[in-house]
Amino acid sequence: MRVIIIGGGEVGTELARRLSPDHDVVIIEQKDDLINKLSNEIDCQVVSGNGASTSVLVSADVRKAGLLIAVTEIDEVNMITCMLAKKFGVQTTVARLRNPEYTDDGKHVLQNELMGIDYIINPERVAAEEIGHYILNPELLDTDYYAGGRVHVSGYRINNTFPLHKMRLQDVKMPPSSIICAIIRGDDVIIPGGKDVILENDEIYVLGKTNKRSSLFWGGRKNSGHKRVIIAGGGRIGFQLAQMLEQSQSLSKIKIIEKNTDRCEKISEELSRTQVYHGDVTDVRFLKNIQIRDADLFIAVTGDDEVNLLSTLLAKKMGAKKTVSEVIRPDYQLILSSIGIDKVVSPRLLTATIIMRLIRKGNIVGMTILREGKAQMMEAIMPAGSSLEGKRIKDAGFPPGILLAAIARGEKILVPDGNERIYASDRFVIFLLPQHTTDLAALFSGKFKHIGSFPALHKLNMENNS
């Protein structure tokens, strides 16, 4: 499919990188430095110009496109581009819109249908929701749902008090229909076997039935959340996060630090329970004065990676119990995680994940990107007439790096072993390494080539959960 992306910034680049292996991708961008970078780094066509220009869209062969994604920094450009794309016959359009007047339910005047927009996404809103979920559910890194909500995959960061710390997987008593499907350890992604040991700072991903989440992973501890929260940055993410947190009665104090005086005045007028401070989040004396040592959680969402990094380090050093940081540049993600920041949030990656879910049509019906694309979870439907239909999983010849973690078959949810047979219309929840995305697409289009015996790595995993 031909995909046109308007805007070659962080989000546009991320999307192009992920879509170009499987689609004919064109990026429209005006800035020369971004054009050069895109041309050198991504295998796609780059067109110079304004995406809201008819002539530029024509030069990008817009009439042949099945999808247009407008992710420039200007809402109005994105809206106009989608409107023009629909006039040229593009089937699906996606627009990044940040202004709440365009996106808040019941408040915007313009109807999406009139503007030619099929899907709207607000990266800052998505990031704020991600952080808000973490604040109110601190035991979880993240949770996603599959098979119509009947299967959940939850991520946990292991510390030395976690119930599974230093346990071998073969010694873990998993509840029915549950499996530890992945371990992320530093830069490594592990499809775990029975002899693997869960270590401190590991991130584990657990799949299970939504109504069967085991107390094993909560360790019987009360989930009290974070009572005192300090937000560094009163921009779109920080402000929307504060608005969300004001709805929770479990938080006793919410504070925002903002460097811009005018912005301080504006957000203080719109927030009711949040204390707004004018100051520099990298100033040690200022942080002492606002009692950073008493913070249960310090969140850095200033829009500047370096400021976020320094302020979270200072906050941790000065007594904040946990820290969260926004990251913009992809190469900063691992740095932030490795120095003890408890959660890293990337608006760029969250946005790309949501858009990728929207456009994964056919038999691939769901997807989650884990840890800067180091791994993925996907939901896929086995088509009728596949050469794999009726085979046992152990005889299907899936390559190493693909783990069939669960099957939704009718009303049943199964964690399969190697003897389970494959049937048409089975919905698989699959953990895979990114280099196998093409293999997976071929598998669920009926074009997968049998390549040999089932990998021993998966057999170990099955032994854990038999």
Top-ranked range on mean pLDDT: pick from 133-147, 255-269, 352-366, 442-456: 255-269
pLDDT tens digits, one per residue of 257-296: 999 999 999 999 999 999 999 999 999 999 999 999 999 9
58, 81 contact by CB (below 8 A): no
Higher pLDDT, 214 or 156: 156
pLDDT of 27: 97
- Where is average pLDDT lowest: 104-113, 166-175, 335-344? 104-113
Instruction: Please state, in angstroms and rounded to a whole number, the distance separating the CA atoms of residues 175 and 162.
Output: 17
**390, pLDDT greater than 80:** yes
371 against 309, higher pLDDT: 309
Q: What is the pLDDT of residue 8?
A: 93
Percent of the chain beyond pLDDT 90? 40
Residue (of 172, 184, 178) closest to 214 by Cα position? 178
pLDDT, mean of residues 125-142: 81
pLDDT of 116 > 50? The answer is yes
HSE-up of residue 289 (Cα within 13 Å, Cβ side): 11
Q: Supply the pLDDT for residue 103.
A: 65
Mean pLDDT on 16-26: 88
Tell me the backbone φ, ψ of residue 53, rounded to 5 degrees: -95, 130
Q: CB–CB of 452/397 below 8 Å?
A: yes
DSSP string, 156-203: EE--TTSTTTT-BGGG--PPTT-EEEEEEETTEEE---TT-B--TT-E
Please report how many Cα atoms fall inside a 13 Å half-sphere around the Cα of residue 411, on the Cβ side. 0
pLDDT on residue 112: 61
φ/ψ of 73, rounded to 5, equals: -80, -10
Three-class SS state of 365: strand
pLDDT band for position 60 (cuts 50, 70, 90):
very high
Give the pLDDT score at 281.
95
Over the stretch 179-202, which tens digit does the pLDDT of each residue have? 888 898 887 888 888 889 999 888
Does residue 58 surpass a pLDDT of 80? yes
**Better-predicted residue by pLDDT, 437 or 327:** 327
What is residue 139's predicted lDDT score, i.e. its pLDDT? 65
The three-state DSSP-derived secondary structure of 409-465 is: ECCEEECCCCCCECCCCCEEEEEECHHHHHHHHHHCCCCCCCCCCCCHHHHHHHHHC
User: Residue 378: is its pLDDT beyond 90?
Assistant: no
Each residue's pLDDT tens digit, 206-218: 888 876 444 445 4
Parallel, antiparallel, or unpaired for β 375-381 and 364-370?
antiparallel
Per-residue pLDDT of 325-363, as tens digits, reads 999 887 776 676 667 788 888 888 888 878 877 666 557
* Cα–Cα distance measured from residue 273 to residue 243, given in angstroms and rounded to the nearest whole number: 9
Average model confidence (pLDDT) across the chain = 83
Contact at 8 Å (CB) between 114 and 338?
no
pLDDT of residue 417: 85
Order of strands across the sheet with 364-370? 364-370, 375-381, 427-432, 402-409, 412-414
3-class DSSP assignment, residue 25: strand
Please state, in angstroms and rounded to a whole number, the distance separating the CA atoms of residues 312 and 295: 12
Return the closest-CA partner of residue 358 out of 101, 95, 31, 115. 95
Residue 463: predicted pLDDT: 35
Reported as a single tens digit per residue, the pLDDT across 412-428 is: 888 888 899 999 889 98
Q: How far, in Å, CA of 72 to CA of 4, rounded?
A: 13
Burial class (CB in 10 A: 0-12, 13-18, 19+), 37: middle
pLDDT of residue 221: 44
Range 124-137 average pLDDT: 86
